[in-house]
Each structure stands twice: as C-alpha cells, then as structure tokens.
Amino acid sequence: MRNYVMTVSILLTAAMAVGGCSKKHEADNKAALPAVVVKGTSSETVKSSAVPETLEVVGTVRAGTSAVVSARIPGSVSILMVREGDRVRKGQLLGQLEAVENLANAAVATAGIDDARQGVDEAKSRKKLADSTFDRYNMLFNEKAISRQEFDVKQSEKELASQGLSRAESRLKQAQERSRAASTISDYTRITAPISGIITSKPVDLGATVFPAQPLMTIEDEGSYFLELAVPESLSTRVKPGSTVLVMLDALGAPFETRIAEIVPSVDPSNRSFIAKITLPQKALKSGMFGRGAINLGTTVNGITLPKKAVVEHGAMTSVWVLDKDKSARMRIIKIGKALGDRQEILSGLSEGEIVVVSGVEKVIEGSKVE
C-alpha cells in the first residue's frame, strides 16, 4: 500500500512538471511572435498653430418670406382646395367661407343703390319742374302780372328742389360706398394666396367654424431661406454683417462657408441673445430644420489641429493612433473641438511633438508597427 501511494505521488509530480513546461513553452512562443507591420499609412507631427477663434451656436432654418392667411370675418369653411405641401401661386383661390349674414348685407346694400338712384331721378324731375315754373313766374313778375309774394314762393320752390337733388345725389353716393364696403366684406369669404409658395401649415379642416384673425394656413416662399442663429448679446460688438460662418445642416450633410447677411437690431430678454441671419443658397430646404454655425470672431488662438481622417470615432469615444519611439501604434483618447474645413481642432489628449497616423488609420491595430 505504501509503495502504491508513492507511485501515484511520483506520477502526479511528473504530470505537473510536464504541464508547467508546456505553458512556459507556449508563453515563449507567443512572446516570440513578431508584431504586425502596417504599410500604406502616413503620419503627422503634432504642432501648435494659430486657430481662428470661433463661436459655435445652433439655429433654425426660416423662410425669408412667409404669409399667414387668416380669417377676416366669422364663418364656416365650406370649400378647402389645398393641403400641406401644395404649391400655390399668388391670387390662387384656396378655399371659401360660408357667411350668410355678410352675403345678405351685400345684397341689401346693392338694392339700396337702386333705391337711391330712383330718388335722384325723382329729385331731378322735381327740380326741372321747379326751374321751368320759376322761369314763367319770373316773366310774369317782370310784367307786374303777379305779386312779389307769389314770385318769392316759386323762387323758394326752385331752391328747395335744387337742395333735394343734392341730398338725393349724396344718398346715392352713400349707398354706393355701403355697397362697395359690403361687397369687399363679402369677398372676404374667398380665401386667396397673398404670395406664391408652398403650404406649410393648415390648422383648419373642412366644415370648421372660424373667427376673425384666426390662422387658416401658412404659405412660405421657397426661393429664400435663412439660418437664424441665436448669438449671446455679449458678442454684439464682434459679430456683424459680413462675418464668416461655417454652416452645418444635419439634413444636408457637408458643411459650407458663407457670411452673415443680417443682424436683427433687438435682443431677446428671455435668453439675452440676438439673431444673426445667414442666407442659404441650397435647395430642398424646409422651414424648421436644425442647423449649426461656427462664427469667425476675427481673432486667433494657439491650438492643435489634425486632418479629420486621422480621428477615429467609436460611439461616444474619439481617439487617434499615436506612434511611440519604436513606431508602435497606441490608441489615444482625445477630445475634439470645432471643425476647421478639412481639419479638426483637438482640445486635449495630445502634446506637441507626438506623431499621429493621419491616413490609413483603418489598417492600424493596437501595437502594430507602422512603416
């Protein structure tokens, strides 16, 4: 029994020794594997340079010309000929309101013109009779055939007939003006486009009851759009019309450089900012789009920049490949700033003199040798 135990112990010791030798051999082989060599890349030495001082602000795309079509009289929407997205031309009929009372008033006013015109005709006839009668009595008075009192009566009748005609003509003008006003109000039942453009909003539907000043639809001119940037009022002396702006619209992709076209001369007291308007020449824009602008403040600061293609983004992590003394690649986490054309500002994570891979970064892996 004792000999058996000793034999098992010797076998276990031998097995452990063999296993240890095997692991050591594998580790030695692994350490002996050569590093991966990466070719076809280029690198750049990190240098500090003058970087334009800019202000990054967000804004919203707005139409340069827009019109809100509102109801001018109460009524119900009886006809609606457009919907959101439709393009319309100036003067085009968009819909119709049903306003029975206004139409009735217009009809009454039109009838009043006919009545007033008849009154004028009657007054003219009375004046004509009074004039001819006066002429005869005047001859008789000159011949001493009638008394002074009879002559005065006919003269008064002539003057009264003339005044009656003036009053009748005045009533006719008043009736015509009332009819014109009633017709104008009646025309308010017609909803027409004040400008040419696209319908961007239509908050009412067919059959809805509307009231004066209630918005019916919004029309925007597609030919002119602005990016409105909210700029802090503390920079009002540094941001002016003509200042260079690098604009980025997420919906369109590539950034582009332009200039501030207009500064709104008022400050919003709720957020202490003023509006800078940037003309947008692009097509396929829509009011309400989100945009960003980097406004050049006209000064420079020292900073570090790298080509954008050198920056590797993995979700929320941003990094670059830095080469150590033996040209082995090491991942370095960095913090980026604003975009400067085809280069990217680096806020932290790099120091002057370090060497960074700037092209072919997709080939590089941790620890690889870069040639």
Going by their DSSP bridges, the two strands 317-323 and 329-333 should be labelled as antiparallel
Residue 33: the pLDDT is: 53
**CB-neighbour burial class of residue 371 (10 A; exposed 0-12, middle 13-18, buried 19+):** exposed
Q: Does the structure show a pLDDT above 60 at 19?
A: no
Last residue of a domain, one of 186, 205, 237: 186
What would the mean pLDDT of 234-259 be, rounded to a whole number? Answer: 84
Residue 105: which pLDDT band, with cuts at 50, 70 and 90? low
Last residue of a domain, one of 219, 236, 260: 219
Last residue of a domain, one of 134, 167, 186: 186
Residue 215: the pLDDT is: 92
What would the mean pLDDT of 28-55 be, rounded to a whole number? Answer: 76
More confident residue, 148 or 299: 148
The answer to whether residues 250 and 265 touch, using CB atoms and an 8 Å cutoff, is no
Q: Are residues 73 and 208 in the same domain?
A: yes
CA dist., res. 38 & res. 329, Å (int): 10
253 part of a folded domain: yes
Q: Are residues 77 and 206 in the same domain?
A: yes
Q: Are residues 292 and 308 in the same domain?
A: no
CA dist., res. 19 & res. 15, Å (int): 6
> Cβ atoms within 10 A of the Cβ of 359, count?
14
Answer left, alpha or beta for residue 132, where phi above 0 means left and psi between -120 and 50 means alpha: alpha
The answer to whether residues 350 and 257 touch, using CB atoms and an 8 Å cutoff, is no
Look up the CATH number of the domain holding residue 232.
2.40.30.170
Residue 216: the pLDDT is: 92
Whether the full predicted model's pTM is greater than 0.75, yes or no, is no
pLDDT in tens, 314-328: 888 899 999 998 888
Average pLDDT over all residues of the chain? 82
Phi, psi of 211 (to 5 degrees): -130, 160
46 part of a folded domain: yes
Domain carrying residue 87: 69-99+188-219
Q: Are residues 163 and 109 in the same domain?
A: yes
Residue 11: the pLDDT is: 41
Secondary-structure breakdown of the chain: helix, strand, coil percentages, each rounded to the nearest 5: 35, 40, 30
